[in-house]
Amino acid sequence: MSVSLVGDIGGTNARLALWRDGQLEHVRVLSTAAFAGPEQAIRSYLDTLGPHAGELERVCLACAGPVSGDEFRFTNNHWVISRTAFCRDLGLSDLLLINDFSAMALGVTCLRKDELLDVRPGVVVADCPRLVLGPGTGLGVGTLLPDTRGGWHALAGEGGHVDLPIGSEREADLWSYLHRQLGHVSAENLLSGSGLVSLYRASCALDGKTLRFDSAAEVTRAALEGDAQAIAVLEQFCTWLGRVAGNAALTLGARGGVYLAGGMLPRFADFLVASGFLAAFQAKGEMSGYLMHIPVWLVTAEQPGLLGAGLALQRSLAGESPMISGLADDV
């Protein structure tokens, strides 16, 4: 029995699953640090399944970073994929590689309404692009463009690496502190797991506060438990996310809506909704009105990236562009 495998691989975790009859099966999350490369992780995954695995025939991997050529180097971990070597080692005829937030964008087209949390209800403008972005190990950005058949084309890009926008004196001070350390300050430098820690350290340095937390999880937990410094940091994080999302939505004309995805945001969903995210999202001077009615959703589904990888593989096998998908429900 042949089987297809799909993967959603970021900087920290490799999510793997079997893809059968349009459904995910046997989802597992592995640490990228525990394996020398994706081949070893996939072999370990298949070994845990035993007779459920079958004979591996097709693989689609959604990978963090720009995808092209035979060799792919991950942006935020040590893994490297050579398509030729990968297929030889695993006995495959072909490997489909796609950008991770292209997969995320495809995945959100098939989510149920109960897998989306309204950050702001708005007016969906038909036939307009939709923006998908979110912080995790890095900051992913993807775009959904409508096609002429009622489906969507997922456009790959590296929007997480745009310059960090500055909208206040406090943000200018934080940017100056980080610029002295980093040189170029990208959105991803702040809007990611490690970025939240960098923001916390910069804030403590500017405010003369003692460092007490070493991870994004600790900063988030402290904020949700009422620590004043952590609250201020997480509030600034949400505000900056709003600025970046608003810039991208304005650039794309994303009046079809904005999806906030990634691993971080569901952990503080209520905080995000109550934060300055929306105010920063639409604070664009004379174009603020353009953004005021764009709906924003928080993706709460477990594995939208894996689902998107499965959809891409399914369409590729049908001889169609792997980056086209239908929309399950008009949210």
- List, as residue ranges, the binding site for ATP: 7-12
Sign of CA dihedral 159, 160, 161, 165: positive
Binding residues: 7-12
Give DSSP secondary structure letters for 151-162: EEEEEP--GGGS
Q: With contact defined as beta carbons under 8 Å apart, do 275 and 220 qualify?
A: no
Pairing state between β 324-326 and 151-155: antiparallel
Using the structure block, give the residue that is written with the tokens 């664009």: 284
Q: Rounded distance, CA 322 to CA 314, Å?
A: 8
Say which residues have a Cβ less than 8 Å from residue 199's Cβ, sequence separation at least 6: 174, 190, 233, 236, 237
Residue 216 in tokens? 């994004």
Task: Round to whole Å and give the CA distance between 104 and 261.
Answer: 8
